[in-house]
Amino acid sequence: MATPRLGEIAPDFEATTTEGPIRFHDWKDASWAVLFSHPADFTPVCTTELGRVAALDDEWNKRGVKVLAVSVDPIEQHEEWKGDIEEVSGATVGYPIIADDSRQVSELYDMIHPGEGDTSGVRSVFIIDPANKVRLSLTYPKSVGRNFDEILRAVDALQLTDSGPFSTPADWREGQKVIVAPTVSTADARERFGADAVDQVKPYLRFTAAPA
């Protein structure tokens, strides 16, 4: 199956997880979600990644984001591995890990990397909004650990640009100025945000403060 594209409804599914059985859309319950796959349990990069996600629990909660991990290993193996993750990271793994030994979820989201000689997942990430639409997707090779600070930054940018006529510039971080969307004229932007609050660099490139 093709990878779910931006703007499409994220495929729904039922799955067994370390926190009990779930139906994805019901479990999300109209919140933001980050669904991310990892190749295998008891592997070094994956241990650091799932530990980092656990350590960021307060950050996910602050943004109203639920996180959900998936791999093709069975539930008993996930439960055993959680102890290692928590020991290495010093954080409790309180989010669900899907036991996708049937490959159902991995195939729905095109997480199996062809030509790698096995049926484990690559490092895929999907950010899904409250309306269940895919808003961002990333795929890393198995050898490269993900930067979850960047995933949080992307969530911040998506939530901000949903709040008004804004875009975010390269390397934008929370608290920095944002770009006024091209759909808003400079005159309208200055009326809306204040004449001194809009910095026109080019007719098509105008900055203003991010809304509080």
CA distances from 169 to 13, 67, 147, 163, 192 (A): 35, 26, 19, 16, 20
Rounded to whole angstroms, how far apart are CA atoms 160 and 166? 8
CA distances from 45 to 61, 140, 169, 177, 205 (A): 24, 12, 30, 35, 40
Instruction: Report yes or no: 162 and 33 within 8 Å, Cβ to Cβ.
Output: no
Residues 6+ apart with CB under 8 A from 121: 37, 38, 39, 70, 71, 72, 100, 106, 111, 112, 113
Instruction: Report yes or no: 24 and 40 within 8 Å, Cβ to Cβ.
Output: no
Rounded to whole angstroms, how far apart are CA atoms 170 and 43? 33
Given the residues 10, 33, 34, 46, the one annotated as active site: 46
Bridge-partner residues for 17, per DSSP? Answer: 98
Which tokens sit at 21? 């059985």
Q: Does the annotation count 123 as an active-site position?
A: no
Q: What is the set of active-site residues?
A: 46
